[in-house]
């Protein structure tokens, strides 16, 4: 049985990853600012296997993963799914507080959580997955903060992978899930009053039914990386 820490669980891909990992039998520490009714029911039904940790990673408020590690055994996994695309718009018009929050959610919190989990893991196998984006490798107009934080995250996890290159106990993956039908995509399609040159492209993907569901993407990530 895998003991998994999963961030950003209440919506979209995170909600589906939670469902897939819970169904697989993982012991879960689900981290988020909020949780669905279904997740709360699951935690009440199996409190020893499914735990909900309320945390605001935009602060960042890093949950106590050391206690979770000490209370479990077997392989560990850490899935950095929480992410924010905001603020969307031209540099020079961005809200400073939103920029700071996104740097915390997308970059600083994954760095701190990974450091804490590896410190607590001792000799247990660890799998770390950073849910990244194609925006980490190519510039998308209006997404400067998102592009920068995802690129920074990939570099951090490449460095972690290099550190453990000779240690089969620890494996690290940067995963680009691709576009999918989430609230984030709806937000981007509605960004009509800010600098976002690719808005029509994303609106077209939705209109043509070319966005896979989060459940499909979650199943692929679990099968290929977890």
| Residue 122 Ramachandran class (φ > 0 left, ψ -120 to 50 alpha, else beta) | left
Give domain status of residue 120, yes or no.
yes
We report the CATH number of the domain holding residue 12 as 3.40.50.720
pLDDT in tens, the chain (226 residues): 899 999 999 999 999 999 999 999 999 999 999 999 999 999 999 999 999 999 999 999 889 999 999 999 999 999 999 999 999 999 999 999 999 999 999 999 999 999 999 999 999 999 999 999 999 999 999 999 999 999 999 999 999 999 999 999 999 999 999 887 666 666 666 666 778 787 777 766 666 766 789 999 999 999 999 9
Give residue for tokens 């049985």: 1
Alpha helices in 71-213 (DSSP H): 96-103, 109-121, 144-163, 183-189, 199-207
pTM over 0.85: yes
| Closest-CA residue to 128 (of 180, 56, 78) | 78
Q: Residue 70 sits in which domain range? A: 3-178+214-225
Give domain status of residue 190, yes or no.
no
Give domain status of residue 198, yes or no.
no
Q: How many domains does the chain have?
A: 1
Give residue for tokens 């309320």: 54
Give domain status of residue 205, yes or no.
no
């Amino acid at each position: 049985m895998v003991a998994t820490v999963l961030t950003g669980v209440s919506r979209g891909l995170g909600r589906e990853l939670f469902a897939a990992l819970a169904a697989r039998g993982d012991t879960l520490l689900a981290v988020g600012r909020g949780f669905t009714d279904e997740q709360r029911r699951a935690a009440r039904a199996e409190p020893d296997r499914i735990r909900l940790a309320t945390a605001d990673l935009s602060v960042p408020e890093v949950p106590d993963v050391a206690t979770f590690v000490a209370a479990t055994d077997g392989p560990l996994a850490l899935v950095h799914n929480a992410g924010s695309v905001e603020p969307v718009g031209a540099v020079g018009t961005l809200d400073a507080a939103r920029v700071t929050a996104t740097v915390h959610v997308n970059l600083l919190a994954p760095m701190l959580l990974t450091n804490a989990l590896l410190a607590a893991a001792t000799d247990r196998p660890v799998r770390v997955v950073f849910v990244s984006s194609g925006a980490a490798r190519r510039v998308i107009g209006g997404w400067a903060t998102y592009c920068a934080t995802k690129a920074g995250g990939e570099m951090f996890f490449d460095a972690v992978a290099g550190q453990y290159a000779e240690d089969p106990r620890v494996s690290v993956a940067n995963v680009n899930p691709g576009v999918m039908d989430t609230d984030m995509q709806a937000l981007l399609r509605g960004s009509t009053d800010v600098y976002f040159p690719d808005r029509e492209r994303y609106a077209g993907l939705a209109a043509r039914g070319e966005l896979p569901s989060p459940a499909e993407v979650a199943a692929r990530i679990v099968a290929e990386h977890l």
